[in-house]
């Protein structure tokens, strides 16, 4: 659900995305379930959190969780063959964990260390693994056949999940989810106002955003932009259409 709402403003209409959604009836049913849970539970809690805590407190919460995520981002940068970016993200983690008082303050960004977001699904994309069909996961939202199993690996690199106390771990996960959901309240209004079909809007936004993330904001030309486009060179691109069947000569029937 959080991923879905973070896609506001990312999507444009197009048939290519629809062609990568062969499970659309099932995906729509799961989407409706997720949306109902969000509206009944998560959104009201996030709204209360947003309205109750001052912006400075919410920034501190976001800084702490963002700092913990930087270490896994650095690991994925290294796996993707980007040592300079890995060193930058590792430096962010060290600076904010020490001089930033365990991540309460983000001093790395003003110091010139840019914030990145990398996960194992993006790493697989850099390795050339195709996305596969679009998939909506219960409670988790948009994904695909490549990124969904990659979440298992991401969980191993999630420092929040390494907290020993079960109660503290559950509390930290809940706080992170609520903080992330509260940060999407404004974007949700854009989705509501711009989309005639929220499902298609969010699906297309997810596919475009993941493509941009895998290619670090510089994706190769799409089939519509480049007549010489080769889908074999673009694991994030739409699947190649099967060749049209050839008519059988009358004499061979």
Q: Which of 16, 56, 9, 47 is nearest to 202 (CA)?
A: 9
Q: Are 80 and 88 contacting, i.e. CB atoms less than 8 angstroms apart?
A: no
Residue-wise pLDDT for 200-220, tens only, equals: 999 999 999 999 999 999 998
Instruction: Report the distance separating Cα 221 and Cα 65, nearest Å.
Output: 35
Buried b (16+ CB within 10 A) or exposed e, 68-88: bbbbbbbbbbbbbebeebbeb
pLDDT of residue 8: 44
| Structural domain includes residue 208 | yes
Residue-wise pLDDT for 22-63, tens only, equals: 999 999 999 999 999 999 999 999 999 999 999 999 999 999
Give the total number of structural domains in the chain. Answer: 1
What global pTM score does this model have?
Answer: 0.84
| Structural domain includes residue 181 | yes
| Structural domain includes residue 236 | no
Question: Can you read off the two tokens belonging to residue 106?
Answer: 């983000």
| Structural domain includes residue 247 | no
The pLDDT confidence band at residue 221, using thresholds 50, 70 and 90, is confident
Stretch (H or E) spanning 200: helix 198-214
For 35, 61, 100, 151, 245, the CA distances from 178, given in Å and listed in that order, are: 15, 10, 23, 19, 51
| Structural domain includes residue 225 | no
pLDDT of residue 189: 78
Instruction: For residue 11, give the DSSP letter.
Output: -
Which residues, 6 or more positions from 9, have their beta carbon under 8 angstroms from its beta carbon?
187, 190, 194, 205
| Structural domain includes residue 26 | yes
- The alpha carbon of residue 150 and the mean position of all alpha carbons in its chain are separated, in whole angstroms, by 12
Instruction: Report the distance separating Cα 152 and Cα 86, nearest Å.
Output: 21
Average pLDDT, the chain: 88
Is residue 236 predicted with pLDDT exceeding 80? no
The range of the structural domain enclosing residue 189 comes to 2-217
| Structural domain includes residue 235 | no
Instruction: Report the distance separating Cα 212 and Cα 204, nearest Å.
Output: 12
| Structural domain includes residue 88 | yes
């Amino acid at each position: 659900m959080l991923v879905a709402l973070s896609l506001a403003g990312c999507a444009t209409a197009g048939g290519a995305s629809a062609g990568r959604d062969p499970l659309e009836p099932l995906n729509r049913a799961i989407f409706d379930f997720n949306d109902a849970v969000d509206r009944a539970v998560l959104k009201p809690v996030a709204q209360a959190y947003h309205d109750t805590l001052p912006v400075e407190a919410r920034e501190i919460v976001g800084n702490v969780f963002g700092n913990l995520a930087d270490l896994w981002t650095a690991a994925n940068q290294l796996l993707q063959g980007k040592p300079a970016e890995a060193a930058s993200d590792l430096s962010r983690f060290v600076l904010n964990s020490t001089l930033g008082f365990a991540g309460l303050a983000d001093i790395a960004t003003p110091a010139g260390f840019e914030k990145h977001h990398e996960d194992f699904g993006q790493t697989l994309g850099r390795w050339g693994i195709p996305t596969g069909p679009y998939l909506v996961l219960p409670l988790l939202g948009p994904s695909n056949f490549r990124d969904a199993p990659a979440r298992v690996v991401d969980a191993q690199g999630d420092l929040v999940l390494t907290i020993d106390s079960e109660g503290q771990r559950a509390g930290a996960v809940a706080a992170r989810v609520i903080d992330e959901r509260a940060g999407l309240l404004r974007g949700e209004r854009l989705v509501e106002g711009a989309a005639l079909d929220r499902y298609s809007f969010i699906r297309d936004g997810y596919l475009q955003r993941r493509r941009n993330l895998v290619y670090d904001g510089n994706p190769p030309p799409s089939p519509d932009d480049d007549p010489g486009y080769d889908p074999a060179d673009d694991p994030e691109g739409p699947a190649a259409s099967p060749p049209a069947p050839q008519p059988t000569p009358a004499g061979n029937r």
